[in-house]
Amino acid sequence: MFVVTLLTNPETPVLERVTVESLRNAWGGGQAHWLDPGVAAEFELDRVPENRWQVWEDLQALRVDMVVQPAEGRRKRLLIADMDSTMIRQECIDELADEAGVGAHVAGITARAMNGELDFEGALRERVGLLKGLPEAVIGQVLRDRITLMPGGRVLVATMKAHGAYAALVSGGFTAFTAAVAEMLGFDENRANSLHVAEGRLAGTVAEPILGKEAKLQALTEITARLGITPAGALAVGDGANDLPMLLAAGTGVALHAKPRVQAECEVRVNHGDLTALLYLQGYGREEFAPV
């Protein structure tokens, strides 16, 4: 059996009953179940429809996301998440670069690297080099004044942990940020790159080896083995090309507001919902969400 989930942004609940029922009837699905009125609903099917992606495109115009996935094993034991533009709204290196006066240049490199147009490791070294001389204290200022959490993150982590899951934050960014964000959101562990500091200023270099796409995949493999589960028991979420191996290896890999190349390779795409979408995809109803 398969489950079709329809969802939208909780801040603008535009999912209408007629949309859900019309699709259910057209596809011969089971009874529709509302996970959150106006926000998320699901129904079962016995096969994946041939016009799935055409319907997906039509629904995107209505600001509605649609995911078709196997019904069995939807609830996952591991949440493994990217940080920049996934658990937070910003790219930390771009914010640091803005403070250093090279924001536009670095943001351009970041965008190309995240869409897979540049080698991630080389692009990171280049961008970090442009931060040389920036006071280390600026990191704290950026965290305080520029970094905002992606909506739904706290409830996603809290709900999955309340149901026995483990949560890991795995970033191609920097430990100075992941440690703070992991604490804010309740992650059990975090992995990222370390910026070198000399005499209170950024040295313009990063510790090797760089945590890139292979290291994210390795984190998934290591953590699932430690938990005594397979990668099929993991829910991974990210937006950039360096997330792709991790997303494709996980039982459910979610491309969240992702770059075009990432969306093209992932079957689970969330462009309108927030991070609570990852709970609806697992079949959690709003009444099951953990208080935060």
Give all strands of the β-sheet with 33-36 in edge-to-edge order: 33-36, 40-45, 2-7, 65-70
Give the tokens for residue 69: 């996935």
98 flagged as catalytic: no
145 flagged as catalytic: no
By residue count, the chain amounts to 292
**Residue 220: exposed, middle, or buried by beta-carbon count in 10 A (0-12, 13-18, 19+)?**
buried
- The 8-class DSSP code of residue 88 comes to B
**Residue 79: exposed, middle, or buried by beta-carbon count in 10 A (0-12, 13-18, 19+)?**
buried
| Given 36, 82, 94, 274, the catalytic residue | 82
Task: Print the SS3 string covering 256-281.
Answer: ECCCHHHHHHCCEEECCCCCCHHHHC
| Given 65, 84, 94, 243, the catalytic residue | 84
DSSP H/E element including 2: strand 2-7
CA distance 60 to 56: 6
**Which residue type is seen at 24?**
R
The residues assigned a catalytic role are: 82, 84
